[in-house]
A and B are shown apart, each in its own frame.
Chain A
């Protein structure tokens, strides 16, 4: 009996040890940013594609003004309520005192300067596929924005999701290192894939999630439950979205559907961002959406 117990203790200790090792926050490979400098003008375009302002401005901030990334918007999920933090250049409340590498590590690895995991409400799995040059440009742009001294508020997440370290195991299970759409792509489709799968993080809403909140990559962009409760986020594979490429690009520019209905819900906010892209980038997104594997409208979570 004592031997069994001892065995269990050792087993549990080994398991905990393994979990501890496996859940360790990782960092960007050394030298990732060597020789690169950020260009704030290019960064403004990255900022628009990534839609940073949609989540990180204060609730009900006026979109027509220079974005003040004071944070405070609430994102309700099955795992708790996440509050977007202050990412303005304020040295105390925001990210003003962080190094470039710390900010890029936060975005591409989901790891804070203190070495803690961020919750995946922050789409770092998508940003992890971004070009480090683009990330540095983004950082340079962030530093040009107004500082706000609004303190970031804690997330409202219950046990066991409150264990930050466990997010490391989540990352192990669900973080992806490569793009979903593979094969021979034209330059335009490749650009579109980059915009949709990396910077634009479209799948965060348009792809269903499993019970642990990981994206079901087999149902890529096949539509999903609306995290805020009402209705569904549409299937934007060719199985659900039958618009011509030009119509998709126009929707991302003006918000008008081919029937001259307008974008609604969260997508209205997204179109404010995509409206700032170049025509070529909107066309690239459309070209990519045309080659995503067609799915019947997904009924996942």
Chain B
């Protein structure tokens, strides 16, 4: 059990699958959905800070950019092991936009989530260098978000 626990802490992603294996610990589908939605909003808040600067809507502020990037990395590392119970898909739960195929492709979900972690870490290294670096890291970050939304999120 101990190596398994260590595995859980490697990244939030591995835990997605582990969470399914140990479904008894999972949140109920509605709570899991609400939790995921709230977590997405936290991502969005950090993306708003970074994206606003990248797009020139707000003045570049290295301290604020770094804080947002740090927070983003933190968010990618949150333990999600109990957030993905079977039955929390878009067909089962009205508030959920995760397509049922996500549960058939958890390996791919993990690949994509890992890519998000990588992109967030790259942003963490770039955010307070200068505006051009921040802008350079923004594309990969958006791409990481988008690659999951493209395949596994239901249109509104």
> Which residues of chain A have a CB within 8 Å of any CB of chain B?
226, 230-234, 250, 254-256, 259-269, 271
- B 42-63 binary contact with A (CB < 8 Å = 1; else 0): 0010011001000100000000
Q: What are 7 A-B contacts with C-beta separation under 8 Å? A: A230-B90, A233-B155, A250-B55, A265-B149, A265-B150, A269-B150, A271-B146
Alpha-carbon separation in the docked complex, A259 to B45 (Å): 8
Closest-CB distance, A198 to chain B (whole angstroms): 24
Residue of A whose beta carbon sits closest to that of B97: A231
Contact A256 B51 (CB under 8 A): yes
> Which residues of chain B have a CB within 8 Å of any CB of chain A?
44, 47-48, 51, 55, 90, 97, 99, 138-139, 142-143, 145-147, 149-150, 153-156
Q: Which residues of B contact A264 (CB under 8 A)?
A: 146, 149-150, 153, 155
Selected from A230, A260, A271, the residue in CB contact (under 8 A) with B51 is A260
Q: Which residues of A contact B44 (CB under 8 A)?
A: 259-261
Q: Can you list the 4 inter-chain pairs with the closest CB atoms, starting with the nearest?
A: A264-B149, A268-B150, A231-B155, A260-B47
A-B contact count (CB 8 A): 62
Closest-CB distance, B57 to chain A (whole angstroms): 9
Residue of B whose beta carbon sits closest to that of A205: B155
Closest-CB distance, B109 to chain A (whole angstroms): 14
Q: Which residues of A contact B51 (CB under 8 A)?
A: 254, 256, 260
Q: Which residues of A contact B150 (CB under 8 A)?
A: 263-265, 268-269
Contact A231 B139 (CB under 8 A): no
Q: Which residues of B contact A267 (CB under 8 A)?
A: 155
Alpha-carbon separation in the docked complex, A234 to B44 (Å): 21
Q: Which residues of B contact A232 (CB under 8 A)?
A: 155-156
Residue of A whose beta carbon sits closest to that of B49: A260
Alpha-carbon separation in the docked complex, A235 to B105 (Å): 30
Q: Which residues of B contact A234 (CB under 8 A)?
A: 155-156
Contact B138 A254 (CB under 8 A): yes
Alpha-carbon separation in the docked complex, A263 to B99 (Å): 15
Closest-CB distance, B74 to chain A (whole angstroms): 17
Closest-CB distance, B34 to chain A (whole angstroms): 17
Contact A230 B142 (CB under 8 A): no
Residue of A whose beta carbon sits closest to that of B40: A261
